[in-house]
Amino acid sequence: MNDIASKVLNGDPRSVARLITLVENSSPEGSRAMKDIYPHTGGAHVIGITGVMGSGKSTLISELTCEYRKQGLEVGIIAIDPTSPFSGGALLGDRVRMMELATDEGVFIRSMGTRGMLGGLTSAVYDVVEILDASGKDVVIVETVGVGQAEVDVIKIADTTIVILVPGLGDSIQAIKAGIMEIADIYVVNKADKPGVDQTVAEIESLVDISCSNRDRKTPVLTTSAKESKGIVELAQEIKKHKEYLEKSNEFEAQRRKRYEAELIEIIRKRLMNFIFDESTFKGKVELLIDQISKKEVDPYTAADEILGKILK
Amino acid sequence: MNDIASKVLNGDPRSVARLITLVENSSPEGSRAMKDIYPHTGGAHVIGITGVMGSGKSTLISELTCEYRKQGLEVGIIAIDPTSPFSGGALLGDRVRMMELATDEGVFIRSMGTRGMLGGLTSAVYDVVEILDASGKDVVIVETVGVGQAEVDVIKIADTTIVILVPGLGDSIQAIKAGIMEIADIYVVNKADKPGVDQTVAEIESLVDISCSNRDRKTPVLTTSAKESKGIVELAQEIKKHKEYLEKSNEFEAQRRKRYEAELIEIIRKRLMNFIFDESTFKGKVELLIDQISKKEVDPYTAADEILGKILK
């Protein structure tokens, strides 16, 4: 086992940060370390939290993290929303709370921006989840803005997915249209101090009644007020209950299998793309073909065939 | 040239719809037709329109399309936002307008949902742009919700990108954080009948002043009220001016080259993934490896190496 892998397994935050950078840069050292840490992963409960901008996701995640810390659990947070306070977009009040978390050794926060076209955001997130898991985090929270396809793909790796809505504005209806309701294991109506909360809860509950009729678990709808720290203990309990449900019903294993499938696909995709576009010999050929496509001398489908013919057995 | 390709080149809407379905399903017939139509593409002006939910994108696109129709131009619309009225999520008032457009032979509307993990949304959108272009559409409008990474990738193929903001709510600031300001060629402050429009315009203009100081074209900021059909003629003019600017400054060619590069990458990615995961022999091997990963008998990095070793020269 290489040095960085053993340090990550010992929970050293610097090594965790370094390994994340290595895998983000597709370094061979990073891949070797990932192989070493892999047998020690799978212990963390991965929680996906998604909701539109302004739904108070980050404040809720802060509160939830504090609750886990009180329970003696270590927490990893991966923020994919570029407007998230975890990504530096905080208001002053939020920032103070973030600072508290950032200086807590039991919490590791990583903000992830947009990756290059070849790298792929999803692939990097999978790796970071594994690294935080291996480093001994009991809970890994993945925060996404939940609108784009890449974000929905990312959330697929969570064991428990929480969809946050806010009262009014017909968000619930919009969320359903956007397809994010399908992925929810728990609904949270945040900002429960605002008017319209009862109506929003009723709306979601009526939808849950329709959609979950043939499942043995009814998706719960909770209300929270992250700013006033209300409903957070209940949310943590509901998350725990969902994990217990997964384990009892054997869904846990099935869901994890999907996660590993998605991970494998991402690793293969990334390696192939690096192989084609980083290798100096191929890159020249690819550039030449793009020139020819621009001049309409060749079509991209024929160009793709040519490149694939060179690399595939 | 095969039958479907020649019918698409003649602008037959049924064949256009059929070819889109073929390429979405990665059919070999679709690929052959794409090769045939490719030399006849490149004529359409591709316009990307992005903005958050509720910014009135779809109404604006309807109005803009009507304006183009008055000018005798044919229009293709690709709606990627699942909450878009073009995708069936219309309010009643919108729906009437959509129906008008839908029955106009000079307009082709395609709504695209989330694609499977192997297919990729981006790849399918590129193909649909080429098909609509080849079918004789003068303008192809791509509508995205503009938050997720996949959506930003999609918008990269546009010649002209329009970012829509609405007055108040500090959207402009959030948009900047989300990185969507970088991609704007034209800003539109829609819902100009609402209060706060002057302030929003001033905010954006001050940002444009800072960010574009070293470019010879200043990004214009327009105001529209799509519901009252205000500012639409001016927007169409500004879009035309942007295209003229691109052509004069040779940026047009450079931008198109980037589009072809993105297209080639997507085609290669899609073919490789289909090769690995659809081929009956490989699929079995892949399933077996995923089982082993689930049981922690192998790590996904080693599994990826094994699969790549089998397929690469």
Name the residue with higher pLDDT: A181 or A199.
Answer: A199
Order the strands of the B75-79 sheet from edge to edge: B107-111, B75-79, B139-144, B45-50, B160-165, B186-189, B221-223
Statement: residue B145 has pLDDT above 70 = no
State the residue for tokens 């397929």: B311
Of A249, A269, A300, the residue at which a domain comes to its end is: A249
Q: Tell me what percent of the residues of chain B surpass a pLDDT of 90.
A: 37
pLDDT tens digits, B263-287: 888 888 888 877 787 766 678 888 8
Predicted local confidence at residue A276, as pLDDT: 80
Task: Tell whether B219 is covered by a domain.
Answer: yes
Task: Tell whether B168 is covered by a domain.
Answer: yes
Residues of A in contact with B38 (CB under 8 A): 296, 299-301
Statement: residue B90 has pLDDT above 70 = no
A78/A214 same-domain check: yes
Name the residue with higher pLDDT: A279 or B164.
Answer: B164
- Closest residue to A174, CB basis, from B42, B83, B260: B83
Out of A60-64, A107-111, B112-116, the most confident range is A60-64
Q: Tell me what percent of the residues of chain A surpass a pLDDT of 90.
A: 38
Q: Binning pLDDT at 50, 70 and 90, where does residue B70 land? A: very high
B27/B94 same-domain check: no
Q: Binning pLDDT at 50, 70 and 90, where does residue A77 land? A: very high
Residues of A in contact with B177 (CB under 8 A): 82-83, 89
Task: Tell whether B267 is covered by a domain.
Answer: no
Task: Tell whether B187 is covered by a domain.
Answer: yes
B19/B30 same-domain check: yes
Predicted local confidence at residue A89, as pLDDT: 45
**Distance between terminal CA atoms of chain A?**
33
Mean pLDDT of chain B: 82
- Closest residue to A35, CB basis, from B151, B301, B313: B301
Predicted local confidence at residue B46, as pLDDT: 96
3-state helix, strand, coil in chain A (%, to 5): 60, 10, 30
A115/A17 same-domain check: no
Nearest C-alpha in B relative to A297: B39
Residues of A in contact with B251 (CB under 8 A): none
Residues of A in contact with B313 (CB under 8 A): 310-313
Statement: residue A58 has pLDDT above 50 = yes
Task: Give dist(CA B289, CA B303) in Å, integer.
Answer: 6
A123/A18 same-domain check: no
Predicted local confidence at residue B59, as pLDDT: 87
Residues of A in contact with B35 (CB under 8 A): 299, 301-302
Task: Give dist(CA A163, CA A78) in Å, integer.
Answer: 16
B56/B34 same-domain check: no
DSSP state of B193: T
Range of the domain at B288: 279-311
Whichever domain contains A130, its CATH number is 3.40.50.300
pLDDT tens digits, B21-52: 998 887 889 989 999 999 999 999 999 998 76
Nearest C-alpha in A relative to B169: A54
Statement: residue A251 has pLDDT above 60 = yes
A143/A185 same-domain check: yes
Task: Tell whether A257 is covered by a domain.
Answer: no
List own/partner pairs for B167-174 with CB under 8 A and 24 or more apart.
B167/B191, B167/B192, B167/B194, B167/B195, B167/B196, B167/B197, B167/B199, B167/B200, B168/B194, B168/B195, B168/B196, B168/B200, B171/B52, B171/B55, B171/B200, B172/B200, B172/B203, B172/B204, B172/B207, B173/B203, B174/A53, B174/A83
Mean pLDDT of B93-108: 73
Q: Does B176 touch chain A (CB under 8 A)?
A: no
Predicted local confidence at residue A103, as pLDDT: 81
- Closest residue to A82, CB basis, from B178, B264, B294: B178
Residues of A in contact with B289 (CB under 8 A): 264
B233: distance to nearest CA of chain A, Å? 31
Say if the Cβ atoms of B307 and A115 lie within 8 Å. Answer: no
Q: Does B281 touch chain A (CB under 8 A)?
A: no
A22/A103 same-domain check: no
Predicted local confidence at residue B167, as pLDDT: 82
Statement: residue A90 has pLDDT above 50 = no
pLDDT tens digits, B206-251: 777 766 545 678 889 999 998 788 999 999 999 999 999 999 988 8
Mean pLDDT of A248-258: 87
B161/B196 same-domain check: yes
Task: Tell whether B271 is covered by a domain.
Answer: no
Q: Does A148 touch chain B (CB under 8 A)?
A: yes
Residues of A in contact with B290 (CB under 8 A): 257, 260-261, 264
Nearest C-alpha in A relative to B176: A83
Mean pLDDT of A14-30: 90
Out of A44-53, A95-104, B62-71, B137-146, the most confident range is B62-71
B50/B11 same-domain check: no
Predicted local confidence at residue A177, as pLDDT: 47
Task: Tell whether B265 is covered by a domain.
Answer: no
Mean pLDDT of A231-252: 93
Total domains present in chain B? 3
Tell me what ipTM this predicted complex has.
0.79
Yes or no: say if B65 and B75 are a contact pair by the CB < 8 Å rule. yes
Statement: residue B117 has pLDDT above 50 = no
Predicted local confidence at residue B147, as pLDDT: 52
**Of B14, B9, B49, B50, the residue nearest B33 (C-alpha):** B9
Task: Tell whether B274 is covered by a domain.
Answer: no
Residues of A in contact with B271 (CB under 8 A): 304, 308
Which residues are CB-neighbours of B40 under 8 A, at least 6 positions away? B9, B134
Mean pLDDT of chain A: 82
Say if the Cβ atoms of B260 and A42 lie within 8 Å. Answer: no
A90/A199 same-domain check: yes
Say if the Cβ atoms of B308 and A272 lie within 8 Å. Answer: yes
Say if the Cβ atoms of B313 and A312 lie within 8 Å. Answer: yes
B311: distance to nearest CA of chain A, Å? 5
B21/B158 same-domain check: no
Name the residue with higher pLDDT: A68 or B53.
Answer: A68
Name the residue with higher pLDDT: B83 or A47.
Answer: A47
Number of residues that this document lists for chain B: 313
Mean pLDDT of A244-254: 89
Q: Tell me what percent of the residues of chain B surpass a pLDDT of 70.
A: 79
Using DSSP's 3-state secondary structure scheme, residue B167 falls into coil
Say if the Cβ atoms of A149 and B147 lie within 8 Å. Answer: no
Chain A interface disruption, residue of B147, B174, B266, B298, most A CBs within 10 A: B147
State the residue for tokens 């991209």: A300
Phi/psi at B63 (5° precision): -65, -40
pTM of structure: 0.74
Out of A33-37, A184-188, B193-197, B203-207, the most confident range is A33-37
pLDDT tens digits, A102-137: 788 899 988 876 443 344 566 788 899 999 999 999
Nearest C-alpha in A relative to B177: A83
Task: Give dist(CA B87, CA A108) in Å, integer.
Answer: 40
Predicted local confidence at residue B92, as pLDDT: 44
